Structure 1
């Protein structure tokens, strides 16, 4: 086994065991991963949405083989632990989810998330029994690996427009029972909902930030007892937002004032030449 991979896996586990909470930002390509590593973050997480946008695709359209190739590049970009957005495991069957974990573990990642979305607009969330069985299969595959893989289980109903807090909690409790190391319900927007989830489970909880209109801070979330904070595709969307504003300025006004807020070539070169993290 790669000793550096084992060291990264153990370091990632330790971040979840240490007191307080930590931010795990989501780069979408090698350049953004290198920049974040140079800033001193302790771990990174991939974003399926951000990567899809960089490929000119919509979220969920990359596919498993494309995602695995992306994860190999991302894991090799820095020395930091990398957790992967493995979407819904690229299939509904528990056996497919387990295979995805085994394949993803060969890319250099040390953790990953499996969500309970179905991809079906009419019924976007998988039935709870099947969803829990999928988490159990992912856990079994993870435990069979030669390094400590940190498995995150995601309850997607708030994120997919079905904000049923009671169902979210039932699902996270079932995923905890199935053996998930970390629990995650993206789309929770209030202190009250986050506190309700935290009081109902006894595993580390990841909370997604970077949503429009949500003003909670790292300090706010740490005080509630959140262990891990991610930003999903919001950093990528922020970058593309600045890009489009610049292009619209040139197109509509023929001016170039966007350059006043752009990072200099010298500064980005310095950041990219900094230690890998």
Structure 2
């Protein structure tokens, strides 16, 4: 098994390549084990995917720091790949909460994580710029001597504020505050993605699998993207297969869905403990 510092070094090196890499989002130990066998170089967690497995909505009020870190610990135990976590809003509005979240994340073995500037309040969904920057600065300061790559998220576009100029200003401010990677989910198209990448000096993460236009890894690499995540879309795809299978049985009384099911022997091989060390 790799040490945490070895995983961090591998993870950091991925961001120095001249083409984009995909970091799929696992939602539990089983999905992490499967993704680890398929040739990916790193994994991320997803608060949305985790929430679905617990019968909850993905929201600040429904998910606690303790349970998301416990979920991340289970994912870490299932893989030898570097893992970066969805750390929501840092689990507190004040800068020290973000710093403490980074320290706790590193303590369990995570080598990266994202902190966003959304408030969770529909009437005022995005944090004041000064506070948002202070929070990233505190998190970056906490991560400075740790094996931890900090990603800062500007949430305008997924909270009904499609302001590209403000998004870029926020990402630039987060960059200057010490974030290692910048991320604005929900950008409207490849031109906006390219504009964001051109405006920043540090690596940019883009999420695919949301509604709207889809671009290939090569398209995004050409636009300047360094890292591509999938958010909760792999989890939603898995739940979609479950819904389709259940609806077939309930509505038609047939079981043809089983033709597309992964054979038991293949799943058993993927879940083997040997797979944890496969990519060390």
Normalising by structure 2, we get a TM-score of 0.95
In the TM superposition, what is the alpha-carbon distance from 1:3 to its structure 2 partner? Answer: 7.1
Contact 2:198 2:224 in 1 (8 A): no
- The alignment yields a C-alpha RMSD, in angstroms, of 1.3
1:205-245 Cα shifts (integer Å, max 9, x gaps) = 00000023322111100111110000000000000011011
| Secondary structure of the corresponding residue to residue 275 of structure 1 | helix
1:6-61 Cα shifts (integer Å, max 9, x gaps) = 10011101111122110000010000000000011000000011011111111032
Q: 2:39: which partner in 1?
A: 40
Q: Structure 1 regions of 5+ residues with no counterpart?
A: none
Asked if residue 17 in structure 1 is aligned to residue 6 in structure 2, the reply is no
1:269 and 1:189 map into 2 onto residues whose CA distance is 40
Asked if residue 117 in structure 1 is aligned to residue 118 in structure 2, the reply is yes
Q: 1:96: which partner in 2?
A: 97
Contact 2:2 2:80 in 1 (8 A): no
How many positions carry a matched residue from both structures? 274
Normalising by structure 1, we get a TM-score of 0.96
In the TM superposition, what is the alpha-carbon distance from 1:195 to its structure 2 partner? Answer: 0.7
In the TM superposition, what is the alpha-carbon distance from 1:248 to its structure 2 partner? Answer: 1.0
Contact 2:10 2:82 in 1 (8 A): yes
1:215 and 1:143 map into 2 onto residues whose CA distance is 35
- Of residues 111-120 and 207-216 in structure 1, the stretch that sits farther from structure 2 once superposed is 207-216
Structure 2 counterparts to residues 54-203 of structure 1, below 5 A: 54-60=53-59, 61-145=62-146, 148-203=147-202
Task: Please list every run of at least 4 consecutive aligned residues from structure 1 whose deviation after the TM superposition is greater than 6 angstroms.
Answer: none
Contact 1:25 1:44 in 2 (8 A): yes
Structure 2 counterparts to residues 219-258 of structure 1, below 5 A: 219-258=218-257
| Secondary structure of the corresponding residue to residue 26 of structure 2 | coil
Q: Structure 2 regions of 5+ residues with no counterpart?
A: none
2:63 and 2:20 map into 1 onto residues whose CA distance is 31
Note closer, same or farther for the CA distance 1:3–1:242 as it changes in structure 2 (3 Å cut).
closer
